[in-house]
């Protein structure tokens, strides 16, 4: 890109600048001795062409919509249409969540994003003893197809795209979604959406696992295979760095560990006999957006470029769509403060810019009150408006990849790509992501980063406005969302009624058929779908799989 003589000249004048700066600093020191990015990487005073001297436009960037996709996965990006504004929501009962979804659609939300409560995420019915106190708290309680029918009542499933944050029991919830669509007269090939379905990051960072690694990988590849034939527009996995970052990782670790998980899924699917180009176009990713806009933009660009190279060079993918990394973004929950919660609106706006400048395909913005409780309707609206203001008023969506060519952005993109690649190599040496997780390597790396971050806050090295600087006396916030504790009782009653009403013989039969399939090596999706249609509960279906597969045991280390 750069002529050698010109580069030499720049290097010379940089040297002169550096010497001059040294003089200036003696008189007037800079604010800090070392400047660090949001995730702790050293930031130089100035970036010049010399920082990207090997930069080659064609191989490093190319055009948007083509390999290596650094500048985005679509040729026109947001000039064609905006990212999907997808607000993550769900609480209490299916009835209440259904009301919230209708409200969000009315307010201009373009896709639904379903939050399930913890018992649902871990495959327990609401009447299980371990579900006590948890029903309907962090999301909606779904015990059977009957709940799912209420959840999507009056929402035409051929018109919306739905993302479901569900992992260990993803196959069951997907089956319920397909069954609801059937009842609406919508065939599976019309369904659009995503199931998170990323179990590896559950072992690493989020904790809602059920089965041991191997059984989980089988369920995931079963879904890949089933959907490639029956639900072709469905994104079968959202390989998630979000939770890895929330657990305390750096930006480069987020990319490295997430893509290493991605590699594990691709390898598992290939091992199960699938052709890479049949399932790879339906893989999608999920990243976090923290406050350091520039580092985050570089992170998304690095992730796209690295994945494209991995798919092409390592897996021999042929289809362009297999190489293009599409991703959903959520603003960083852990960056929100319980102190002066209004400030969180500003943080979310900054993070929204990061995601959009980085080329996200869909975005969930957090609400200001989320360090305190689940968001209220009002606070969710402000969060959604934040996206709309960035989309319609800021102008950043009018040209593709506007920060490209910035010396800092390109140098940082390269730096994150290289650092992420180092983690991937290390994980390869350990035998792949599932092994590295079983050994606790990934968890340990994240834990160290999280601890350093906390230390930096407590020593004042890292400033969090309103928390460790610019503090004020505050009244406790009012009007937080409270989930009615009677939800648990209500759900229990619904399950009793369901069990009295349904054909229990048929349920038993379908569950036994599923058991048999689990013991063999057939694709489990059709069996799960049959059980769901007969109104077997989530807990019953996962219970059968628990009995056959066993449960994952976490390795705890500090």
Partner 1 sequence: MDRPIRVLVAKPGLDGHDRGAKVIARALRDAGMEVIYTGLRQTPEQIVSAAIQEDVDCVAMSILSGAHNTLLPKVVELLKAENAEDILVIGGGVIPDDDIPFLKEKGIAEVFTPGTPTSVTIDFIKANVKRK
Smallest distance from partner 1 to CB 453, Å: 9
**CB of residue 244 to partner 1, shortest distance in Å:** 11
Q: Please check whether residue 302 is in contact with residue 255, taking contact to mean a CB–CB distance below 8 angstroms.
A: yes
How many angstroms separate the CA atoms of 138 and 115, rounded? 7
C-beta closer to partner 1: residue 134 or 415: 134
Least Å distance between CB 370 and partner 1? 8
Residues in contact with partner 1 by the rule CB under 8 A: 118-119, 121-122, 124, 130-134, 137-138, 202, 206-209, 246-248, 334, 337-339, 371-374, 447, 450-451, 454, 457-458, 464, 467-468, 476-477, 480, 483, 485, 554, 556, 558
- Give me the least distance between CB of 450 and partner 1, in Å please: 5
Residues contacting residue 419 through CB under 8 Å, at least 6 positions apart: 252, 256
Considering beta carbons, is residue 39 or 121 the nearer one to partner 1? 121
Report the side by side order of strands in the sheet with 161-165: 234-235, 192-195, 161-165, 111-115, 84-89, 362-364, 327-331, 283-289, 237-240
| Gap between the Cα atoms of 530 and 162, Å rounded | 22
Query: CA-CA distance, 199 to 310, in Å (whole number)?
Result: 21
In this complex, which beta carbon is closest to partner 1, that of residue 13 or of residue 454?
Answer: 454
Task: Tell me how far, at minimum, the Cβ of 242 lies from partner 1, in Å.
Answer: 12
Tell me whether residue 184 or residue 343 sits nearer to partner 1 (CB atom). Answer: 343
Q: Which is nearer to partner 1, 101 or 203 (CB)?
A: 203
What residues have CB less than 8 Å from 546, skipping those under 6 apart?
123, 210, 211
CB 347 to partner 1: min, Å? 14
- DSSP, collapsed to helix, strand or coil, labels residue 440 as coil
Nearest approach, Cβ of residue 8 and partner 1 (Å): 48
Which CB sits closer to partner 1, 202 or 296?
202
With CA atoms as reference, report the closest residue to 199 among 180, 184, 183, 213.
213
For partner 1, the closer of residues 114 and 531 by Cβ is: 114
Closest C-alpha to 156, from 183, 133, 195: 183
Q: Where are the beta strands (DSSP E) in 192-338?
A: 192-195, 234-235, 237-240, 283-289, 327-331
């Amino acid at each position: 890109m750069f002529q050698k003589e010109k580069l030499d000249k720049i290097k010379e004048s940089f040297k002169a600048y550096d010497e001059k700066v040294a003089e200036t600093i003696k008189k007037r020191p800079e604010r800090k001795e070392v400047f660090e990015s949001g995730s702790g990487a050293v930031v130089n005073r100035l970036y010049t062409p010399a920082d990207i001297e090997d930069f080659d436009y064609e191989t490093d960037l190319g055009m948007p919509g083509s390999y290596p996709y650094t500048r985005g996965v679509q040729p026109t990006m947001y000039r064609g249409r905006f990212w999907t504004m997808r607000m993550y929501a769900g609480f209490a009962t299916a009835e209440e969540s259904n009301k919230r979804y209708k409200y969000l659609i009315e307010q201009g939300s373009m896709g639904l994003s379903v939050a399930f409560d913890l018992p649902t995420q871990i495959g327990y019915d609401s009447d299980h003893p371990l579900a006590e106190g948890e029903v309907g708290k962090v999301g909606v309680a779904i015990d059977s197809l009957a709940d799912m029918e209420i959840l999507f009542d009056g929402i035409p499933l051929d018109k919306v795209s739905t993302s479901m944050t569900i992992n260990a029991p993803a196959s069951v919830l997907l089956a319920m979604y397909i069954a609801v669509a059937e009842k609406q007269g919508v065939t599976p090939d019309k369904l659009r959406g995503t199931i998170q379905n990323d179990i590896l990051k559950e072992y690493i960072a989020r904790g809602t696992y059920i089965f041991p690694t191997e059984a989980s990988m089988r369920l995931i590849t079963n879904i890949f295979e089933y959907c490639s034939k029956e639900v072709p527009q469905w994104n079968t996995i959202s390989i998630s760095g979000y939770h890895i970052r929330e657990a305390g990782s750096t930006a480069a670790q987020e990319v490295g560990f997430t893509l290493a998980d991605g590699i594990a899924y691709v390898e598992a699917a290939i091992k199960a006999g699938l052709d890479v180009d049949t399932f790879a176009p339906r893989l999608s990713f999920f990243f976090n957006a923290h406050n350091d806009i520039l580092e985050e933009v570089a992170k998304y660009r690095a992730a796209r470029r690295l994945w494209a190279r991995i798919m092409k060079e390592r897996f021999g993918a042929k289809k362009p769509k297999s190489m293009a990394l599409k991703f959903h973004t959520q603003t960083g929950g852990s960056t929100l403060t319980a102190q002066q919660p209004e400030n969180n609106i500003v943080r979310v706006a900054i993070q929204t810019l990061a995601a959009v400048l980085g080329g996200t395909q869909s975005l969930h913005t957090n609400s200001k009150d989320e360090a305190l409780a689940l968001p209220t309707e009002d606070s969710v609206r402000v969060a959604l408006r934040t996206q709309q203001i960035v989309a319609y008023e800021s102008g950043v969506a009018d040209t593709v990849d506007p920060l490209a060519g910035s010396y800092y952005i390109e140098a940082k993109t390269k730096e994150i790509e290289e650092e992420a690649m180092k983690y991937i190599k290390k994980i390869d040496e350990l035998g792949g992501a599932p092994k590295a997780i079983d050994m606790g390597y990934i968890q340990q790396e994240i834990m160290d980063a999280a601890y350093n971050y906390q230390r930096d806050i407590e020593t004042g090295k890292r400033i969090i406005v309103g928390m460790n600087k610019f503090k004020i006396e505050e009244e406790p916030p009012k009007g937080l969302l409270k989930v009615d504790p009677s939800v648990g009782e209500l759900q229990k009653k619904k399950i009793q009624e369901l069990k009295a009403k349904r054909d229990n013989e048929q349920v038993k039969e379908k569950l036994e058929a599923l058991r048999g399939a689990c013991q063999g090596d057939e694709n489990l999706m059709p069996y799960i779908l049959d059980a769901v249609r007969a109104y077997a509960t989530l807990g019953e279906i996962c219970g059968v799989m628990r009995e056959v597969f066993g449960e994952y045991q976490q390795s705890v280390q500090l």
